[in-house]
Amino acid sequence: MAAHDTERPLLSGPLEPGSRTKQNGSNKKRRYRRSKSAPLAEAVPSGADFPCSRVQRWDTIFGTIHPSFKTVAIYLSLYLGIGTISFYLVKNQIEGQKTNGVLDAVYFCVVTMTTVGYGDLVPGTVLTKLLACAFVFSGMALVGLILIKAADYLVEKQEILLVKAIHLHEKLGPSEILKDIEIHRAKYKCITIMFLLAVLIVSGTVFLYVVEKRDFVDAFYCVCSTITTLGYGDQSFSTISGRVFAVFWIITSTICLAQFFFYVAELNTENRQRALTKWVLCRRMTNVDLEAADLDEDGVVSAAEFVIYKLKEMGKITQEDVSLVLKEFDDLDVDQSGTLSVSDLTLAQSSPDEN
């Protein structure tokens, strides 16, 4: 079982000057690699070699974490298409302020999907009432599970432009800008979405004031009651051009406001996490901590053990996560040396009982 081909010097033991395990005289200052290329999830190619046939392919698993524009476009078109056709077919069973048949159907569909529900058009029969119930639930699912993620992706893209603009005069390199974004992600997302929201609120108010001829307060009140999905219905879009504008504006603005509240919650979490990280890092290490951090029970804490202990304390990883990986480590460590070497890998991965 034992392997003898560990070509490189084996220096993972403690190298204190007075220690009886002094090896190779390597008493030089050791600095850990900071910029080591981490195996980031995004960096794994989708066509990589998959030894486990039970597990799905990478792109199947991750294809929809940030749904592609194609996916979003297909779902949204399908929803609006089926909705428009359905409500157009039963247009005589819908009561209220009508303009153009197809436009009213799209408008009713959007007002229902976003849960604005003005009530300027309402279902008048059992069939249309049940249809509206089906469309509001599926609409909520579409907005909440797919559109909001697509919006998050768009905001992330805009965020980079924002941070670049902020640092325009500081001449930061791309990596420093990316690092700044990484650290203050939620903050920049909040700023970006607030800017977008301001644009949407102003454009909506101006539109209602100019095109639908409302007075200024009513226009602003209609905008607020729409983007929050309140939709009392005393103010809504009643002209043809108003409803065309509404179809696009309502989807965008309601998602933006929901996203804004989501980012505020995220910012809150981010600030808390930062405070915790700071607290954990500058907390005094006691001998009890040292003992608890010593994963392999060799009496000293290596850099990696220290990292795991501190990350657990920060709540970023759990004992469950660590145990799961340690089990895999035990399987790979064929010679039970407590470390993995090239020979361990060769032996473990060529043995017939490989799982």
Shortest separation between residue 125's beta carbon and a second copy, angstroms: 9
Shortest separation between residue 140's beta carbon and a second copy, angstroms: 6
Out of 11, 74, 202, 206, the residue judged to bind a second copy by CB under 8 A: 11
123 within 8 A of 129, measured Cβ to Cβ: yes
Out of 71, 115, 203, 239, the residue judged to bind a second copy by CB under 8 A: 115
Out of 90, 140, 166, 191, the residue judged to bind a second copy by CB under 8 A: 140
Stretch that binds a second copy, among 4-12, 70-78, 80-88, 190-198 (CB under 8 A): 4-12
Out of 101, 161, 195, 316, the residue judged to bind a second copy by CB under 8 A: 316
Shortest separation between residue 17's beta carbon and a second copy, angstroms: 4
Instruction: Report which DSSP code applies to 142.
Output: I
**What's the CA gap between 354 and 348, in Å, rounded?**
7
CA angle 281, 286, 288 (to 5 degrees): 120
Does 59 participate in binding a second copy (rule CB under 8 A)?
no
Indicate the residue among 169 and 323 with the shorter CB distance to a second copy: 323
Cβ burial of 114 (10 Å; 0-12, 13-18, 19+) is: buried
Alpha-carbon radius of gyration of the chain? 29
Name which of 102, 84, 194 is nearest 139 in CA terms: 84
**What's the CA gap between 131 and 96, in Å, rounded?**
17
Phi, psi dihedrals of residue 95, rounded to the nearest 5°: -105, 155
**What's the CA gap between 225 and 233, in Å, rounded?**
9
Does 340 participate in binding a second copy (rule CB under 8 A)?
yes
179 within 8 A of 142, measured Cβ to Cβ: no
Indicate the residue among 38 and 165 with the shorter CB distance to a second copy: 38
Stretch that binds a second copy, among 71-79, 85-93, 113-121, 185-193 (CB under 8 A): 113-121
Task: Tell me, residue by residue from 170 to 199, as one string, x for binding to a second copy by CB under 8 A and - for no binding.
Answer: ---------x--xx----------------
Out of 211, 230, 244, 347, the residue judged to bind a second copy by CB under 8 A: 230
